Structure 1
Protein backbone atom coordinates (compact mmCIF):
# COMPACT_ATOMS: atom_id res chain seq x y z
CA UNK A 1 0.00 0.00 0.00
CA UNK A 2 2.85 2.36 0.82
CA UNK A 3 4.34 1.99 -2.67
CA UNK A 4 0.97 2.68 -4.31
CA UNK A 5 0.47 5.75 -2.09
CA UNK A 6 3.88 7.19 -2.95
CA UNK A 7 3.25 6.45 -6.64
CA UNK A 8 -0.08 8.29 -6.59
CA UNK A 9 1.44 11.21 -4.71
CA UNK A 10 4.40 11.33 -7.10
CA UNK A 11 2.11 11.53 -10.13
CA UNK A 12 0.94 15.03 -9.14
CA UNK A 13 3.88 16.69 -10.90
CA UNK A 14 3.61 14.63 -14.13
CA UNK A 15 -0.11 15.44 -14.28
CA UNK A 16 0.66 19.13 -13.72
CA UNK A 17 3.16 18.97 -16.58
CA UNK A 18 0.26 18.13 -18.92
CA UNK A 19 -0.24 21.88 -19.10
CA UNK A 20 2.48 22.14 -21.73
CA UNK A 21 0.84 19.32 -23.70
CA UNK A 22 -2.41 21.26 -23.65
CA UNK A 23 -0.48 24.21 -25.03
CA UNK A 24 0.89 22.05 -27.85
CA UNK A 25 -2.59 20.73 -28.63
CA UNK A 26 -3.92 24.28 -28.72
CA UNK A 27 -1.17 25.43 -31.07
CA UNK A 28 -1.83 22.45 -33.34
CA UNK A 29 -5.50 23.39 -33.47
CA UNK A 30 -4.79 27.04 -34.21
CA UNK A 31 -2.31 26.13 -36.94
CA UNK A 32 -4.73 23.54 -38.36
CA UNK A 33 -2.09 20.80 -38.21
CA UNK A 34 -4.62 18.10 -37.41
CA UNK A 35 -2.30 16.52 -34.81
CA UNK A 36 -4.44 17.12 -31.74
CA UNK A 37 -5.83 13.59 -31.49
CA UNK A 38 -2.43 12.01 -32.13
CA UNK A 39 -0.81 14.20 -29.48
CA UNK A 40 -3.38 13.26 -26.87
CA UNK A 41 -3.19 9.57 -27.82
CA UNK A 42 0.63 9.58 -27.74
CA UNK A 43 0.80 11.20 -24.31
CA UNK A 44 -1.91 8.91 -22.90
CA UNK A 45 -0.10 5.86 -24.27
CA UNK A 46 3.24 7.02 -22.85
CA UNK A 47 1.58 7.70 -19.48
CA UNK A 48 0.00 4.24 -19.44
CA UNK A 49 3.11 2.38 -20.64
CA UNK A 50 5.45 4.09 -18.20
CA UNK A 51 3.04 3.53 -15.31
CA UNK A 52 2.78 -0.17 -16.10
CA UNK A 53 6.52 -0.61 -16.61
CA UNK A 54 7.14 1.13 -13.29
CA UNK A 55 5.18 -1.55 -11.43
CA UNK A 56 6.75 -4.32 -13.53
CA UNK A 57 10.29 -3.11 -12.78
CA UNK A 58 9.41 -2.77 -9.11
CA UNK A 59 8.33 -6.42 -9.15
CA UNK A 60 11.44 -7.59 -11.03
CA UNK A 61 13.87 -5.62 -8.86
CA UNK A 62 12.33 -7.07 -5.71
CA UNK A 63 12.87 -10.63 -6.99
CA UNK A 64 16.58 -10.28 -7.92
CA UNK A 65 16.25 -13.21 -10.32
CA UNK A 66 18.47 -13.74 -13.37
CA UNK A 67 15.54 -15.32 -15.21
CA UNK A 68 13.63 -12.02 -15.12
CA UNK A 69 16.62 -10.25 -16.68
CA UNK A 70 16.53 -12.54 -19.69
CA UNK A 71 12.75 -12.37 -20.02
CA UNK A 72 12.76 -8.57 -19.94
CA UNK A 73 15.70 -8.44 -22.36
CA UNK A 74 14.10 -10.77 -24.92
CA UNK A 75 10.81 -8.88 -24.69
CA UNK A 76 12.54 -5.56 -25.40
CA UNK A 77 14.49 -7.05 -28.32
CA UNK A 78 11.30 -8.49 -29.86
CA UNK A 79 9.48 -5.15 -29.63
CA UNK A 80 12.50 -3.30 -31.01
CA UNK A 81 12.89 -5.78 -33.88
CA UNK A 82 9.23 -5.40 -34.79
CA UNK A 83 9.48 -1.61 -34.74
CA UNK A 84 12.69 -1.45 -36.76
CA UNK A 85 11.29 -3.99 -39.21
CA UNK A 86 8.26 -1.79 -39.82
CA UNK A 87 10.57 1.06 -40.83
CA UNK A 88 12.25 -1.29 -43.30
CA UNK A 89 9.02 -3.02 -44.29
CA UNK A 90 10.11 -3.68 -47.88
CA UNK A 91 13.18 -5.62 -46.79
CA UNK A 92 12.51 -9.40 -46.92
CA UNK A 93 12.12 -10.77 -43.39
CA UNK A 94 12.92 -7.29 -42.11
CA UNK A 95 11.47 -7.77 -38.63
CA UNK A 96 13.40 -11.00 -38.01
CA UNK A 97 16.62 -9.53 -39.37
CA UNK A 98 16.22 -6.40 -37.27
CA UNK A 99 15.55 -8.46 -34.15
CA UNK A 100 18.54 -10.74 -34.75
CA UNK A 101 20.81 -7.76 -35.45
CA UNK A 102 19.70 -5.92 -32.31
CA UNK A 103 20.12 -9.09 -30.27
CA UNK A 104 23.63 -9.65 -31.62
CA UNK A 105 24.83 -6.08 -31.14
CA UNK A 106 23.42 -5.53 -27.67
CA UNK A 107 24.21 -8.96 -26.24
CA UNK A 108 27.89 -8.80 -27.26
CA UNK A 109 28.21 -5.29 -25.85
CA UNK A 110 26.41 -6.23 -22.64
CA UNK A 111 28.55 -9.33 -22.20
CA UNK A 112 31.71 -7.26 -22.54
CA UNK A 113 30.49 -4.75 -19.95
CA UNK A 114 29.60 -7.51 -17.48
CA UNK A 115 32.90 -9.38 -17.97
CA UNK A 116 34.82 -6.14 -17.48
CA UNK A 117 32.74 -5.55 -14.31
CA UNK A 118 31.52 -2.18 -15.52
CA UNK A 119 28.02 -3.15 -14.35
CA UNK A 120 26.96 -5.88 -11.90
CA UNK A 121 24.70 -8.53 -13.38
CA UNK A 122 21.56 -7.54 -11.47
CA UNK A 123 18.13 -6.45 -12.77
CA UNK A 124 18.52 -2.92 -11.39
CA UNK A 125 21.54 -2.29 -13.60
CA UNK A 126 21.19 -4.60 -16.57
CA UNK A 127 17.58 -3.88 -17.57
CA UNK A 128 17.91 -0.06 -17.80
CA UNK A 129 21.28 -0.35 -19.56
CA UNK A 130 19.91 -2.93 -21.99
CA UNK A 131 16.91 -0.69 -22.68
CA UNK A 132 19.15 2.21 -23.67
CA UNK A 133 21.25 0.05 -25.98
CA UNK A 134 18.26 -1.66 -27.56
CA UNK A 135 16.50 1.65 -28.19
CA UNK A 136 19.48 3.15 -30.01
CA UNK A 137 20.21 -0.05 -31.91
CA UNK A 138 16.56 -0.21 -32.99
CA UNK A 139 16.72 3.26 -34.54
CA UNK A 140 20.06 2.72 -36.25
CA UNK A 141 19.15 -0.73 -37.57
CA UNK A 142 15.83 0.40 -39.02
CA UNK A 143 17.41 3.37 -40.77
CA UNK A 144 20.33 1.31 -42.11
CA UNK A 145 18.13 -1.44 -43.56
CA UNK A 146 15.72 1.01 -45.17
CA UNK A 147 18.53 3.14 -46.58
CA UNK A 148 20.32 0.11 -48.03
CA UNK A 149 17.25 -1.08 -49.86
CA UNK A 150 16.41 2.43 -51.11
CA UNK A 151 19.97 3.07 -52.32
CA UNK A 152 20.08 -0.20 -54.24
CA UNK A 153 16.72 0.64 -55.80
CA UNK A 154 17.84 4.10 -56.89
CA UNK A 155 21.09 2.71 -58.32
CA UNK A 156 19.75 -0.58 -59.59
CA UNK A 157 21.29 -0.19 -63.06
CA UNK A 158 24.73 0.27 -61.56
CA UNK A 159 24.34 -2.79 -59.36
CA UNK A 160 23.09 -4.95 -62.23
CA UNK A 161 25.97 -3.78 -64.42
CA UNK A 162 28.45 -4.77 -61.74
CA UNK A 163 26.82 -8.20 -61.46
CA UNK A 164 26.91 -8.63 -65.24
CA UNK A 165 30.65 -7.87 -65.22
CA UNK A 166 31.28 -10.67 -62.77
CA UNK A 167 31.08 -8.94 -59.39
CA UNK A 168 29.75 -10.91 -56.44
CA UNK A 169 26.60 -9.61 -54.75
CA UNK A 170 28.71 -8.30 -51.86
CA UNK A 171 31.01 -6.43 -54.26
CA UNK A 172 28.13 -5.08 -56.34
CA UNK A 173 26.46 -3.33 -53.38
CA UNK A 174 29.54 -2.46 -51.34
CA UNK A 175 29.10 1.26 -51.99
CA UNK A 176 25.43 1.17 -50.98
CA UNK A 177 26.24 -0.76 -47.80
CA UNK A 178 28.85 1.80 -46.79
CA UNK A 179 26.48 4.69 -47.48
CA UNK A 180 23.67 3.07 -45.48
CA UNK A 181 25.96 2.45 -42.50
CA UNK A 182 27.27 6.02 -42.53
CA UNK A 183 23.75 7.46 -42.65
CA UNK A 184 22.46 5.10 -39.97
CA UNK A 185 25.29 5.71 -37.52
CA UNK A 186 25.61 9.46 -38.07
CA UNK A 187 23.02 10.49 -35.39
CA UNK A 188 24.73 8.34 -32.74
CA UNK A 189 28.16 9.72 -33.58
CA UNK A 190 26.89 13.31 -33.78
CA UNK A 191 25.31 12.88 -30.38
CA UNK A 192 28.61 11.60 -28.97
CA UNK A 193 30.43 14.62 -30.40
CA UNK A 194 28.06 17.16 -28.86
CA UNK A 195 27.14 15.46 -25.58
CA UNK A 196 27.60 17.87 -22.70
CA UNK A 197 27.92 20.85 -25.04
CA UNK A 198 24.35 21.04 -26.31
CA UNK A 199 22.41 18.61 -24.15
CA UNK A 200 22.83 16.81 -20.85
CA UNK A 201 21.73 13.20 -21.59
CA UNK A 202 19.02 11.44 -19.66
CA UNK A 203 21.22 9.19 -17.54
CA UNK A 204 23.44 12.06 -16.46
CA UNK A 205 20.53 14.43 -15.82
CA UNK A 206 18.67 11.80 -13.84
CA UNK A 207 21.62 11.17 -11.54
CA UNK A 208 22.19 14.88 -10.97
CA UNK A 209 18.52 15.49 -10.16
CA UNK A 210 18.62 12.43 -7.91
CA UNK A 211 21.38 13.98 -5.82
CA UNK A 212 24.53 12.44 -7.31
CA UNK A 213 27.56 14.64 -7.87
CA UNK A 214 28.18 15.87 -11.45
CA UNK A 215 31.47 13.96 -11.52
CA UNK A 216 29.72 10.67 -10.73
CA UNK A 217 27.08 11.44 -13.36
CA UNK A 218 29.76 12.16 -15.94
CA UNK A 219 31.48 8.83 -15.29
CA UNK A 220 28.27 6.92 -15.89
CA UNK A 221 27.41 8.96 -18.99
CA UNK A 222 30.81 8.21 -20.55
CA UNK A 223 30.14 4.50 -20.06
CA UNK A 224 26.66 4.90 -21.55
CA UNK A 225 27.94 6.73 -24.65
CA UNK A 226 30.62 4.09 -25.21
CA UNK A 227 28.17 1.23 -25.01
CA UNK A 228 25.65 2.96 -27.27
CA UNK A 229 28.24 3.51 -30.00
CA UNK A 230 29.45 -0.08 -29.70
CA UNK A 231 26.01 -1.71 -29.69
CA UNK A 232 24.67 0.48 -32.51
CA UNK A 233 27.68 -0.21 -34.73
CA UNK A 234 27.53 -3.96 -34.20
CA UNK A 235 23.77 -4.07 -34.79
CA UNK A 236 23.84 -1.97 -37.96
CA UNK A 237 26.72 -3.90 -39.53
CA UNK A 238 25.06 -7.21 -38.66
CA UNK A 239 21.82 -6.02 -40.27
CA UNK A 240 23.58 -5.30 -43.59
CA UNK A 241 25.08 -8.80 -43.69
CA UNK A 242 21.76 -10.45 -42.85
CA UNK A 243 19.80 -8.26 -45.27
CA UNK A 244 21.92 -8.85 -48.38
CA UNK A 245 20.84 -12.46 -49.17
CA UNK A 246 17.20 -11.34 -49.46
CA UNK A 247 18.11 -8.93 -52.24
CA UNK A 248 19.55 -11.60 -54.55
CA UNK A 249 18.51 -14.90 -56.10
CA UNK A 250 20.56 -18.07 -55.92
CA UNK A 251 21.86 -17.15 -59.38
CA UNK A 252 23.26 -13.89 -57.96
CA UNK A 253 20.67 -11.73 -59.66
CA UNK A 254 18.69 -8.94 -58.00
CA UNK A 255 15.22 -9.90 -56.85
CA UNK A 256 13.18 -7.41 -58.85
CA UNK A 257 10.11 -7.90 -56.65
CA UNK A 258 11.97 -6.53 -53.63
CA UNK A 259 12.57 -3.20 -55.37
CA UNK A 260 9.33 -2.84 -57.33
CA UNK A 261 7.17 -1.62 -54.42
CA UNK A 262 7.40 1.63 -52.42
Structure 2
Protein backbone atom coordinates (compact mmCIF):
# COMPACT_ATOMS: atom_id res chain seq x y z
CA UNK A 1 0.00 0.00 0.00
CA UNK A 2 3.03 2.27 -0.38
CA UNK A 3 2.88 4.93 -2.99
CA UNK A 4 -0.75 5.82 -2.24
CA UNK A 5 -1.14 9.55 -2.72
CA UNK A 6 -2.84 11.34 0.18
CA UNK A 7 -3.67 15.07 -0.06
CA UNK A 8 -1.18 17.26 1.82
CA UNK A 9 -2.34 19.99 4.21
CA UNK A 10 -1.66 22.63 1.53
CA UNK A 11 -3.77 20.49 -0.80
CA UNK A 12 -6.55 20.42 1.76
CA UNK A 13 -6.37 24.20 2.05
CA UNK A 14 -6.47 24.52 -1.75
CA UNK A 15 -9.67 22.47 -1.80
CA UNK A 16 -11.36 25.44 -0.14
CA UNK A 17 -11.60 26.82 -3.65
CA UNK A 18 -14.39 24.31 -4.19
CA UNK A 19 -16.21 25.70 -1.16
CA UNK A 20 -15.75 29.19 -2.60
CA UNK A 21 -17.29 27.98 -5.86
CA UNK A 22 -20.33 26.57 -4.04
CA UNK A 23 -20.64 29.76 -2.01
CA UNK A 24 -20.49 31.84 -5.18
CA UNK A 25 -23.32 29.84 -6.70
CA UNK A 26 -25.43 30.29 -3.55
CA UNK A 27 -24.69 34.03 -3.49
CA UNK A 28 -25.35 34.64 -7.18
CA UNK A 29 -28.64 32.74 -7.04
CA UNK A 30 -29.68 34.61 -3.88
CA UNK A 31 -30.33 31.41 -1.97
CA UNK A 32 -29.52 33.06 1.38
CA UNK A 33 -27.32 30.07 2.21
CA UNK A 34 -23.84 31.53 1.61
CA UNK A 35 -23.04 32.21 5.26
CA UNK A 36 -24.44 28.87 6.40
CA UNK A 37 -22.49 27.03 3.69
CA UNK A 38 -19.18 28.67 4.65
CA UNK A 39 -19.72 28.10 8.38
CA UNK A 40 -20.67 24.46 7.78
CA UNK A 41 -17.54 23.90 5.69
CA UNK A 42 -15.21 25.47 8.25
CA UNK A 43 -16.95 23.68 11.09
CA UNK A 44 -16.58 20.34 9.30
CA UNK A 45 -12.85 20.89 8.88
CA UNK A 46 -12.33 21.80 12.54
CA UNK A 47 -14.48 18.90 13.74
CA UNK A 48 -12.65 16.38 11.57
CA UNK A 49 -9.22 17.57 12.73
CA UNK A 50 -10.34 17.35 16.37
CA UNK A 51 -11.88 13.92 15.89
CA UNK A 52 -8.78 12.71 14.06
CA UNK A 53 -6.60 13.75 16.99
CA UNK A 54 -8.99 12.12 19.45
CA UNK A 55 -9.04 8.87 17.48
CA UNK A 56 -5.25 8.74 17.60
CA UNK A 57 -5.52 8.68 21.39
CA UNK A 58 -8.36 6.13 21.38
CA UNK A 59 -6.51 3.75 19.05
CA UNK A 60 -3.21 4.08 20.91
CA UNK A 61 -4.30 4.28 24.55
CA UNK A 62 -7.87 3.14 25.27
CA UNK A 63 -8.49 0.32 22.82
CA UNK A 64 -11.92 -1.32 22.60
CA UNK A 65 -13.48 0.33 25.72
CA UNK A 66 -12.61 3.74 24.33
CA UNK A 67 -14.09 2.78 20.96
CA UNK A 68 -17.38 1.73 22.57
CA UNK A 69 -17.44 4.95 24.59
CA UNK A 70 -16.99 6.98 21.41
CA UNK A 71 -19.81 5.09 19.70
CA UNK A 72 -22.03 5.83 22.71
CA UNK A 73 -21.24 9.55 22.39
CA UNK A 74 -22.10 9.41 18.69
CA UNK A 75 -25.44 7.78 19.52
CA UNK A 76 -26.32 10.54 22.00
CA UNK A 77 -25.43 13.31 19.56
CA UNK A 78 -27.26 11.59 16.69
CA UNK A 79 -30.37 11.18 18.84
CA UNK A 80 -30.46 14.91 19.55
CA UNK A 81 -30.01 15.80 15.89
CA UNK A 82 -32.68 13.35 14.71
CA UNK A 83 -35.03 14.43 17.50
CA UNK A 84 -34.98 17.97 16.14
CA UNK A 85 -36.85 16.66 13.09
CA UNK A 86 -39.77 15.86 15.35
CA UNK A 87 -40.19 19.40 16.69
CA UNK A 88 -43.57 19.76 18.47
CA UNK A 89 -43.94 15.98 18.91
CA UNK A 90 -43.91 14.95 22.59
CA UNK A 91 -40.67 13.29 23.72
CA UNK A 92 -39.26 13.42 20.19
CA UNK A 93 -35.61 13.53 21.25
CA UNK A 94 -36.10 10.62 23.63
CA UNK A 95 -37.76 8.56 20.88
CA UNK A 96 -35.01 9.42 18.41
CA UNK A 97 -32.17 8.66 20.83
CA UNK A 98 -33.73 5.33 21.82
CA UNK A 99 -34.32 4.48 18.16
CA UNK A 100 -30.75 5.32 17.17
CA UNK A 101 -29.42 3.32 20.13
CA UNK A 102 -31.59 0.30 19.31
CA UNK A 103 -30.58 0.15 15.66
CA UNK A 104 -26.91 0.86 16.35
CA UNK A 105 -26.36 -1.47 19.29
CA UNK A 106 -28.20 -4.43 17.78
CA UNK A 107 -26.52 -4.08 14.39
CA UNK A 108 -23.00 -3.47 15.68
CA UNK A 109 -23.42 -6.15 18.34
CA UNK A 110 -24.46 -8.70 15.70
CA UNK A 111 -21.45 -7.88 13.51
CA UNK A 112 -19.10 -8.34 16.46
CA UNK A 113 -20.82 -11.42 17.90
CA UNK A 114 -20.73 -13.24 14.57
CA UNK A 115 -17.13 -12.29 13.94
CA UNK A 116 -18.02 -10.44 10.73
CA UNK A 117 -15.83 -7.48 11.71
CA UNK A 118 -12.77 -7.30 13.90
CA UNK A 119 -12.97 -6.22 17.52
CA UNK A 120 -10.14 -3.74 17.01
CA UNK A 121 -10.89 -0.14 17.95
CA UNK A 122 -9.85 1.14 14.50
CA UNK A 123 -12.57 -1.06 12.99
CA UNK A 124 -15.33 -0.57 15.58
CA UNK A 125 -15.22 3.25 15.46
CA UNK A 126 -15.62 3.80 11.68
CA UNK A 127 -18.13 0.97 11.27
CA UNK A 128 -20.05 2.21 14.30
CA UNK A 129 -20.02 5.70 12.81
CA UNK A 130 -21.55 4.47 9.56
CA UNK A 131 -24.26 2.62 11.47
CA UNK A 132 -25.08 5.55 13.75
CA UNK A 133 -25.24 7.89 10.76
CA UNK A 134 -27.72 5.60 9.01
CA UNK A 135 -29.89 5.23 12.10
CA UNK A 136 -29.86 9.00 12.66
CA UNK A 137 -31.21 9.64 9.18
CA UNK A 138 -33.87 6.94 9.56
CA UNK A 139 -35.01 8.25 12.94
CA UNK A 140 -35.13 11.82 11.68
CA UNK A 141 -37.16 10.96 8.59
CA UNK A 142 -39.55 8.85 10.67
CA UNK A 143 -40.20 11.65 13.15
CA UNK A 144 -40.66 14.25 10.45
CA UNK A 145 -43.23 12.11 8.65
CA UNK A 146 -45.05 11.29 11.90
CA UNK A 147 -45.11 14.98 12.79
CA UNK A 148 -46.65 15.89 9.45
CA UNK A 149 -49.21 13.08 9.52
CA UNK A 150 -50.21 13.72 13.12
CA UNK A 151 -51.07 17.30 12.28
CA UNK A 152 -52.66 16.88 8.83
CA UNK A 153 -54.42 13.56 9.45
CA UNK A 154 -55.72 14.27 12.96
CA UNK A 155 -59.42 14.12 11.90
CA UNK A 156 -58.92 10.70 10.32
CA UNK A 157 -57.08 9.37 13.37
CA UNK A 158 -59.75 10.65 15.75
CA UNK A 159 -62.48 9.19 13.52
CA UNK A 160 -60.91 5.74 13.85
CA UNK A 161 -60.68 6.21 17.61
CA UNK A 162 -64.39 7.15 17.71
CA UNK A 163 -65.18 3.91 15.88
CA UNK A 164 -63.66 2.01 18.79
CA UNK A 165 -60.21 1.23 17.39
CA UNK A 166 -57.38 1.24 19.94
CA UNK A 167 -54.69 3.87 19.55
CA UNK A 168 -52.22 1.51 17.89
CA UNK A 169 -54.65 0.44 15.15
CA UNK A 170 -55.94 3.97 14.62
CA UNK A 171 -52.40 5.21 14.05
CA UNK A 172 -51.06 2.15 12.19
CA UNK A 173 -51.50 3.51 8.62
CA UNK A 174 -49.44 6.56 9.49
CA UNK A 175 -46.77 4.51 11.25
CA UNK A 176 -46.44 2.31 8.16
CA UNK A 177 -46.21 5.39 5.95
CA UNK A 178 -43.41 6.81 8.12
CA UNK A 179 -41.51 3.51 8.12
CA UNK A 180 -41.82 3.21 4.35
CA UNK A 181 -40.51 6.75 3.88
CA UNK A 182 -37.54 6.04 6.17
CA UNK A 183 -36.63 2.75 4.49
CA UNK A 184 -36.94 3.73 0.83
CA UNK A 185 -33.64 5.72 0.62
CA UNK A 186 -31.66 2.78 2.04
CA UNK A 187 -33.42 0.35 -0.30
CA UNK A 188 -32.80 2.57 -3.32
CA UNK A 189 -29.12 2.96 -2.41
CA UNK A 190 -28.77 -0.80 -2.07
CA UNK A 191 -30.36 -1.38 -5.48
CA UNK A 192 -27.87 0.77 -7.37
CA UNK A 193 -24.71 0.29 -5.31
CA UNK A 194 -21.72 -0.08 -7.63
CA UNK A 195 -23.74 0.96 -10.69
CA UNK A 196 -24.11 4.67 -10.03
CA UNK A 197 -21.47 5.25 -7.37
CA UNK A 198 -18.78 3.47 -5.40
CA UNK A 199 -19.79 3.86 -1.74
CA UNK A 200 -17.54 5.25 0.95
CA UNK A 201 -16.21 2.04 2.50
CA UNK A 202 -15.33 0.51 -0.86
CA UNK A 203 -13.82 3.75 -2.15
CA UNK A 204 -11.70 4.15 0.98
CA UNK A 205 -10.33 0.63 0.73
CA UNK A 206 -9.54 1.00 -2.96
CA UNK A 207 -7.76 4.31 -2.32
CA UNK A 208 -5.79 2.53 0.40
CA UNK A 209 -4.59 0.01 -2.16
CA UNK A 210 -6.87 -2.93 -1.33
CA UNK A 211 -7.84 -5.19 -4.21
CA UNK A 212 -11.34 -4.24 -5.53
CA UNK A 213 -12.66 -7.78 -5.12
CA UNK A 214 -11.62 -7.65 -1.47
CA UNK A 215 -13.09 -4.19 -1.00
CA UNK A 216 -16.51 -5.27 -2.26
CA UNK A 217 -16.81 -7.87 0.51
CA UNK A 218 -16.62 -5.10 3.07
CA UNK A 219 -19.05 -2.95 1.11
CA UNK A 220 -21.61 -5.77 0.89
CA UNK A 221 -21.50 -6.11 4.67
CA UNK A 222 -21.86 -2.32 5.01
CA UNK A 223 -24.95 -2.19 2.78
CA UNK A 224 -26.61 -5.09 4.60
CA UNK A 225 -25.86 -3.65 8.04
CA UNK A 226 -27.29 -0.28 7.03
CA UNK A 227 -30.52 -1.90 5.89
CA UNK A 228 -30.89 -3.64 9.25
CA UNK A 229 -29.89 -0.58 11.28
CA UNK A 230 -32.28 1.66 9.35
CA UNK A 231 -35.22 -0.70 9.78
CA UNK A 232 -34.60 -1.22 13.49
CA UNK A 233 -34.08 2.48 14.23
CA UNK A 234 -37.14 3.56 12.26
CA UNK A 235 -39.36 0.97 13.92
CA UNK A 236 -38.18 1.73 17.46
CA UNK A 237 -38.50 5.48 16.90
CA UNK A 238 -41.99 5.15 15.43
CA UNK A 239 -43.25 2.93 18.23
CA UNK A 240 -41.90 5.19 20.97
CA UNK A 241 -43.19 8.34 19.28
CA UNK A 242 -46.60 6.70 18.81
CA UNK A 243 -46.75 5.77 22.48
CA UNK A 244 -46.11 9.40 23.45
CA UNK A 245 -48.84 10.66 21.10
CA UNK A 246 -51.68 8.98 23.03
CA UNK A 247 -52.69 9.17 26.68
CA UNK A 248 -53.84 6.25 28.81
CA UNK A 249 -57.39 6.66 27.53
CA UNK A 250 -56.22 6.24 23.92
CA UNK A 251 -56.81 9.90 23.12
CA UNK A 252 -54.55 11.72 20.69
CA UNK A 253 -52.65 14.45 22.50
CA UNK A 254 -52.63 17.98 21.00
CA UNK A 255 -49.84 18.56 18.51
CA UNK A 256 -49.12 22.08 17.32
CA UNK A 257 -48.54 22.88 13.67
CA UNK A 258 -44.88 22.42 12.70
CA UNK A 259 -42.95 25.69 12.44
CA UNK A 260 -42.95 27.24 8.98
CA UNK A 261 -40.10 25.79 6.96
CA UNK A 262 -39.23 23.11 9.55
CA UNK A 263 -37.42 20.13 8.11
Which TM-score band applies after superposition, normalised by the shorter structure? over 0.9
Q: Map 1:73-222; keep pairs closer than 5 Å.
A: 73-222=71-220
Offset of residue 32 of structure 1: 2.6
Gaps of 5+ in 1: 1-8
Which residue in 1 is equivalent to 2:4? none
Offset of residue 260 of structure 1: 4.8
Deviations 1:179-211, CA, capped at 9 Å, x for gaps: 010011111111111111111111111111111
SS of alignment partner, residue 244 of structure 2: helix
Offset of residue 259 of structure 1: 4.0
**8 A Cα contact 1:105 1:235, kept in partner:** yes
Q: Distance in 1 between matches of 2:169 and 2:145?
A: 18
**8 A Cα contact 1:82 1:95, kept in partner:** yes
Q: Distance in 1 between matches of 2:78 and 2:206?
A: 29
Offset of residue 235 of structure 1: 0.6
Q: Distance in 1 between matches of 2:141 and 2:166?
A: 25
TM-score by length of structure 1 reads 0.93
Q: Aligned in 2, Cα 1:212/1:261: closer, same or farther, shift over 3 Å?
A: closer
Q: Distance in 1 between matches of 2:152 and 2:27?
A: 38
Q: Distance in 2 between matches of 1:98 and 1:28?
A: 32
**8 A Cα contact 2:147 2:258, kept in partner:** no
Q: Distance in 1 between matches of 2:27 and 2:242?
A: 45
Deviations 1:202-240, CA, capped at 9 Å, x for gaps: 111111111111111111100000100101100100111
- Determine whether 1:36 maps to 2:38: no
Offset of residue 261 of structure 1: 5.2
SS of alignment partner, residue 197 of structure 2: coil
Which residue in 1 is equivalent to 2:3? none
**8 A Cα contact 1:88 1:94, kept in partner:** yes
Aligned CA RMSD, in angstroms, stands at: 1.4
Equivalent residue pairs, number: 253
Gaps of 5+ in 2: 1-6
Deviations 1:79-121, CA, capped at 9 Å, x for gaps: 0000001111122111111111111111011111111101122
**8 A Cα contact 1:149 1:259, kept in partner:** no
Q: Distance in 2 between matches of 1:162 and 1:188?
A: 32
Q: Aligned in 2, Cα 1:36/1:149: closer, same or farther, shift over 3 Å?
A: closer
Offset of residue 144 of structure 1: 0.5
Q: Please, which moves more after superposition, 77-86 or 93-102?
A: 93-102
Which residue in 2 is equivalent to 1:25? 23
**8 A Cα contact 1:64 1:122, kept in partner:** no
